[in-house]
Amino acid sequence: LTTFKPLEPYVGMLSIPRDLWVFIPNIGENRINTAHFFAEAIQKDSGPHMLEETVESNFGIDINYYLRVKFDGFRELVNAMGGVYIEIDKAMAGYPPGNYHLTGRKALAFVRYRQNSDDFFRMENGQFMIKQLLKQMLNPLYWTRLPAAYHSFSKYVDTNIPIWIWPKMMFTLSRVGIGGIDSRSINRDMVTPFITNQGASVLLPDWSKINPVIRDIFGK
């Protein structure tokens, strides 16, 4: 979940673990990542709207737009940007601290890294990679690559964000700076591991700890 507030300026980002146990409208209680799946099984391309409804009903946030990206789109975007340069000061996704240049395939593997990790580590990896890509896109040295990146990316993306919103988002990012993004996650302290009657491992939300974070970022 991301919010852009150009006038402040402010950019807030919140990652939600896929196993968070929530109420899905017309479905019932289940993992939040199943909202899209159930909707798509009933009607193709209805997944994003069901996920919007699920987020709104559980988090009390009005969702204006969505962005759905296929894995191929992520790889193509990174490759069109000439790869992504990252600098890590601690071990992440199987890489020791250091500087690296990742292709699209390696960048996707970085984000999806599973060995000796869990959703909380993957959320951290995902936010880190998003920031590195945005940092590169805001660098004038890479602006000549943006048209090709957009062309490659657009083939694999589904969104209802109007074209006139994108400049406002990028302008807000440029004012805030990548280091100024307020990026947070629903972390281990905000959930309780739980086994359902069907034997599934899920995370029960502690709304007394989650709601203050929601208010901080989204003002709700």
Q: How far is CA 149 from CA 39, 65, 167, in A?
A: 30, 21, 16
pLDDT tens-digit profile of 143-200? 899 888 888 778 888 999 998 998 999 999 999 999 999 999 999 999 999 998 888 8
What's the pTM? 0.87
pLDDT tens-digit profile of 36-90? 999 999 999 999 999 999 999 999 999 999 999 888 889 999 999 999 999 999 9
